[in-house]
Amino acid sequence: MPQPPTAPPEPIQSNAAIGGHPLHPMLIHFPVAALVALPAADAAFLWNGDPFWARAGLWLAGVGALGGWVASLAGLVDLLTVQAIRRKVTAWTHALLAVMLLSLGTLNWLLRLRLGAADSVMPLGFGLSILNLVLIALAAYLGGKLVYEQAVAVDAAAVPDEHGGLRG
């Protein structure tokens, strides 16, 4: 027997927003893209030895680490100042994964700065890049659950009401 449709959850507004647009989802795309591209740059360097790819990896690691810290501040503001978000286990798990990701991403970047881009790729740099990729996938999955299933930082006017119309 089919289940009756359930009403969507009440949207939870972000406190770290500009003009009602939450900052964390706006800022997180660049560091995530950089950290997703990093294993490919490392693999290209290992495959052909061209130092361009090692330098590209250094820059990608830096953009991923520094950009991630900036984006995480907006997420932290919401986690600490919005009670409805603080009560969600998914939000705390997402934050914990993000702290692990930022720590390993920063270590990866600092390792590349200290040892030199080419000398740091194998084995530690590449290994950290792959581990970061796994953590990004897990954190992104939980971030998606927060937005799409729990309506965190969703525009209330764009959420359908129980009759299929738009709220607001």
Residue 158 has pLDDT above 80, yes or no: no
- Identify the band that residue 163 occupies on the pLDDT scale cut at 50, 70 and 90: low
Q: What is the pLDDT of residue 12?
A: 85
Tens of pLDDT, residue by residue over 5-34, are 666 678 888 888 898 889 998 999 999 999
Residues facing 21 on adjacent strands: 18
How far out from the chain centre does Cα 90 lie? 14
Q: What is the mean pLDDT of residues 164-168?
A: 53
**pTM of the model as a whole:** 0.83
Q: Is the pLDDT of residue 96 over 90?
A: yes
> From the CB of residue 60, how many other CB atoms can be counted at a distance below 10 Å?
26
* Per-residue pLDDT reduced to its tens digit, 38-71: 999 999 999 999 999 999 999 999 999 999 999 9
- Give the C-alpha separation, 56 to 66, whole Å: 15
pLDDT, average across residues 117-123: 75
CA 55 to chain centre: 23
Q: Is 27 helix (H, G, I), strand (E, B) or coil?
A: helix
Q: What gap in Å lies between CA 55 and CA 167, rounded to an integer? A: 49
| β-bridge partners, 22 | 17
Query: Phi/psi of residue 166, each to 5°?
Result: -90, 145
Mean pLDDT of the chain: 87
Q: What secondary structure, in 3-state letters, does 60-120 show?
A: HHHHHHHHHHHHHHHHHHHHHHCHHHHCCHHHHHHHHHHHHHHHHHHHHHHHHHHHCHHHH
Higher pLDDT, 5 or 115: 115
Residue 99 predicted with pLDDT over 90? yes
